[in-house]
């Protein structure tokens, strides 16, 4: 976290703690300062000016949306809170190396007795940056080389060239990204690309190249205490993507969602429920690409089935689907007899689960009712038990004994022990 500096405000002296420190952790010295702290929290103030120092090529208008809430603060504690939130939004733009906040008494001819000035001291990223990294996902990995030009035109635009070589696909492309001012989660992007998909779960190999224009939006509400193995809290995640609306080689509307609820029970056990769903609607006459479709099955989704081996197929090759749903109920408990309690043993959990799901295309029937009816037919499901290992807040490993049910002709199953590694599990 960056440092929030608060200089003295007469007659309310204050030693500004670093923002984010809990009240119980603060040392206010002798008892006589308690009265001053009470006054500090309740005293009305006015934020008169907000300055941003250190700007070079960044346009100020793009930043106005991110700092506007600071002017609405009513007391010093509120000023510090809203200043920290504004700092986080500025960093989210991806154009600054660091952002520091300084809160001071207002100066100038128009200064009020209770007026404050807030200054954001920023340092912009270099005009060009390079990167090399390896990525590990759900039973997959890749090496990525990238070249990035952040803040190209001064309003958080980004031009990126990236080459990726992985176990599932090899790709390279040039992309331009521009967020909507005041709504970073809404953005416009245009891509020049070539992708060669390996699709190890079938014999298919798809090479796609061309131009795509995309508008995407994501909404995330996450109250979980951990993203890898939560003990409490909930997650709601909705993704929307529109491709090809201004031209390009692919054209579709894609929406998907994820819901997860977690509740701590007796004996340190946790009950978790999750639901996934999505739809891909091709626009125009071209069919959807294999790389854009949804896939189901494997140790990170519907356990007991082989990787991506549920749904439409052709001569043993799995083609993915344009609509899907998947749900699960899980019970996580401590290891029997609690070995390593309070230490290494806390990374392990016993796991009992029930999973179900289905997947289909949208090229049949008339209307949503026919599609929902198809998704309700021939449901694949499985149950079993195993052990989960949490690798910090990075990923987790599962070793489960699975019993697949509702198996359809052509499905590939994993009846028995199944191993999975990833960052997102059903």
Burial per residue of 76-90, b for 16 or more beta-carbon CB atoms within 10 angstroms, e otherwise = bbbbbbbbbebbebb
| The pTM of the whole model exceeds 0.75 | no
- Residue 147 has a pLDDT of 86
Coil, helix or strand for 166?
strand
In angstroms, the Cα distances linking 413 to 93, 101, 188, 356, 371 are: 44, 56, 40, 14, 25
- Residue 25 has a pLDDT of 42
Whether residue 174 is found in the same domain as residue 152: yes
- Please report, for the domain that includes residue 64, its CATH number: 3.10.20.310
Domain membership flag for residue 188: yes
Number of compact structural domains in the chain: 2
Domain membership flag for residue 23: no
Residues of the chain with pLDDT under 70: 1-42, 134-142, 166-169, 193-213, 245-249, 364-367
Domain membership flag for residue 66: yes
Q: What are residue 302's phi and psi, to 5 degrees?
A: -85, 100
Domain membership flag for residue 16: no
Whether residue 246 is found in the same domain as residue 323: yes
Dump pLDDT digits (tens) for 123-139.
Answer: 999 888 887 776 555 55
Whether residue 136 is found in the same domain as residue 67: no
- How far apart CA 237 and CA 253 sit, in angstroms, is 17
Whether residue 87 is found in the same domain as residue 186: no
Whether residue 151 is found in the same domain as residue 97: no
Dump pLDDT digits (tens) for 254-267.
Answer: 999 999 999 999 88
User: Which residue range forms the structural domain that includes residue 366?
Assistant: 129-422
* Cα three-residue angle 116-122-126, rounded to 5 degrees: 170
Domain membership flag for residue 238: yes
Whether residue 55 is found in the same domain as residue 144: no
Give 372's Cβ-side CA count (13 Å radius): 3
**Residue 18 and residue 4 in contact, taking contact as beta carbons nearer than 8 Å:** yes
Coil, helix or strand for 152?
coil
Chosen domain end from 91, 124, 157:
124
- Residue 28 has a pLDDT of 44
Whether residue 168 is found in the same domain as residue 109: no
């Amino acid at each position: 976290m960056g440092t929030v500096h608060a200089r003295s405000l007469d007659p309310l002296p204050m030693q500004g703690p670093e923002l984010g420190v809990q009240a119980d952790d603060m040392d206010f010295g002798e008892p006589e300062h308690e009265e001053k702290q009470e006054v500090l929290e309740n005293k009305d103030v006015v934020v008169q000016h907000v300055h941003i120092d250190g700007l070079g090529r960044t346009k100020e208008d793009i930043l106005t949306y991110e700092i506007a809430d600071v002017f609405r603060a009513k007391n010093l504690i509120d000023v510090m809170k809203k200043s920290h939130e504004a700092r986080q939004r500025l960093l989210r733009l991806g154009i600054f190396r660091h952002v520091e906040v300084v809160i001071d008494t207002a100066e100038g001819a128009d200064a009020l007795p209770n007026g404050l000035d807030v200054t954001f001291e920023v340092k912009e990223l270099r005009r060009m940056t390079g990167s090399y990294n390896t990525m590990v996902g759900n039973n997959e990995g890749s090496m990525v080389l990238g070249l990035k030009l952040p803040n190209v035109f001064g309003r958080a635009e980004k031009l990126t060239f990236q080459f990726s070589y992985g176990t599932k696909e090899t790709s390279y492309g040039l992309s331009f990204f521009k967020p909507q001012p005041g709504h970073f989660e809404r953005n416009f992007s245009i891509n020049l690309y070539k992708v060669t998909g390996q699709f190890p779960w079938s014999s298919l190999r798809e090479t796609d190249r061309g131009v795509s224009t995309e508008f995407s939006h994501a909404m995330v509400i996450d109250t979980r205490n951990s993203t890898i193995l939560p003990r409490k809290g909930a997650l709601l995640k909705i993704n929307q993507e529109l491709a090809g609306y201004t031209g390009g080689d692919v054209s579709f509307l894609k929406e998907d969602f994820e819901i997860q609820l977690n509740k701590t029970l007796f004996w340190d056990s946790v009950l978790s429920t999750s639901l996934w769903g999505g739809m891909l609607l091709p626009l125009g006459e071209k069919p959807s690409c294999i790389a854009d479709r949804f896939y189901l099955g494997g140790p990170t989704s519907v356990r007991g089935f082989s990787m991506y081996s549920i749904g439409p197929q052709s001569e043993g090759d799995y083609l993915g689907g344009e609509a899907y749903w998947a749900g699960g109920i899980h019970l996580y408990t401590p290891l029997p007899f609690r070995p390593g309690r309070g230490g290494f043993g806390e990374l392990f959990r016993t796991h009992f689960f029930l999973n179900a799901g289905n997947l289909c295309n949208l090229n049949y029937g008339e209307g949503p009712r026919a599609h929902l009816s198809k998704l309700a037919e021939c449901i694949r499901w499985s149950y079993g038990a195993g052990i989960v290992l949490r690798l910090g807040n990075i990923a987790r490993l599962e070793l489960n004994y699975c019993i697949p049910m509702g198996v359809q002709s052509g499905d590939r199953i994993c009846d028995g022990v199944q191993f999975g590694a990833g960052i997102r599990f059903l």
